[in-house]
Amino acid sequence: MSTLRTPLDGANINSAVKNSYWRVSVVDVTGSTHNDLVLLARNGKAKHGDVIVAEFQTHGRGRLDRTFESPSHSALLFSMYIQPQIDVNDWGWLALLAGMATSNAIAATNIFGLNKQPQLKWPNDVLIGDKKVSGILAERIDTEGVVIGIGINVSTTLEELPVTTATSLAIESGTPWDRNLLLVKILEEFAETIKRWEAKDVTLSSQYLKMSATVGRQVRIQAPDGNSLESQAVGIDANGSLVLRSGEHVSVGDVVHLHAN
């Protein structure tokens, strides 16, 4: 497998999205694109459509304050700031919609030999097979907007992956991927998905369910307080919470897939 790692091209990316509201800033190194954009938003300096993408993060941020690090130029690491024009009580869907856009973008740019369609693991992972290729973090900034961070393993090798449950696009396809093309497609897909969501497109939820690797599975939910619960995942509610056959609606926690039903 080739590990060719070409740099991101900010000028070409912005040219490709010039007819949208996205404004993309490419940085070589930062602690966390997510934290950078959160700080800008809290200081009133972020605008709807701002995107920061980094070649390398020293303290990449995931859910539940976990950190991660990827070799330079090996991953697509970026954060977006948006101000949704929809009831704030529905914002729990944002991470799920970002996952849909990411999955659709991977499928749309799959000219490189990927054999399996990406699937979504609630609440914030994109899987290829049963392995994680992407993670997503959504953080509300007061009541103004949301920062959504996305990390995708693109050219990461087996030796560079932190855990055996992870994978990369290059591992799965056996060929290099163009991070510039992939970022542009994700931004296009996400903008269209948000437009449909704000217009209350009722087909979004059914499309998510078709892409879900979690709904229909027996799962174990591991809560942040250490408690766990096993049940079958049967749906997603209007707030983006996972609905269990046992009656619970889970808004936060780690999901372990046990077996299909």
pLDDT of residue 63: 46
Whether 146 shows a pLDDT value over 90: the answer reads: yes
Give the C-alpha separation, 94 to 90, whole Å. 8
Whether 32 shows a pLDDT value over 70: the answer reads: yes
Give the number of C-alpha atoms closer than 13 A to the C-alpha of residue 34, restricted to the C-beta side: 25
Give the C-alpha separation, 224 to 110, whole Å. 36
Question: pLDDT tens for residues 149-167?
Answer: 999 999 999 999 988 999 9
Whether 4 shows a pLDDT value over 80: the answer reads: no
pLDDT of residue 245: 97
Q: What is the pTM of this model?
A: 0.93
Domain 10-203 sits in CATH at 3.30.930.10
Give the C-alpha separation, 81 to 47, whole Å. 7
Neighbours of 238 (CB within 10 A): 12
Topology match between the domains 10-203 and 215-260: no
Quote the percentage of the chain above a pLDDT of 90: 80
CA angle 176, 177, 183 (to 5 degrees): 160
Question: pLDDT tens for residues 37-60?
Answer: 999 999 999 999 999 999 999 975
pLDDT of residue 162: 84
Give the C-alpha separation, 247 to 231, whole Å. 9
Average pLDDT over residues 84-94: 93
Question: Is the separation of the CB atoms in 175 and 113 below 8 Å?
Answer: yes
Domain ranges of the chain: 10-203, 215-260
How many whole angstroms from its chain centre is CA 129? 16
* CATH number of 215-260, picked from 3.30.565.10, 3.40.50.300, 2.30.30.100, 3.40.630.10: 2.30.30.100
Whether 62 shows a pLDDT value over 60: the answer reads: no
Give the C-alpha separation, 29 to 59, whole Å. 10
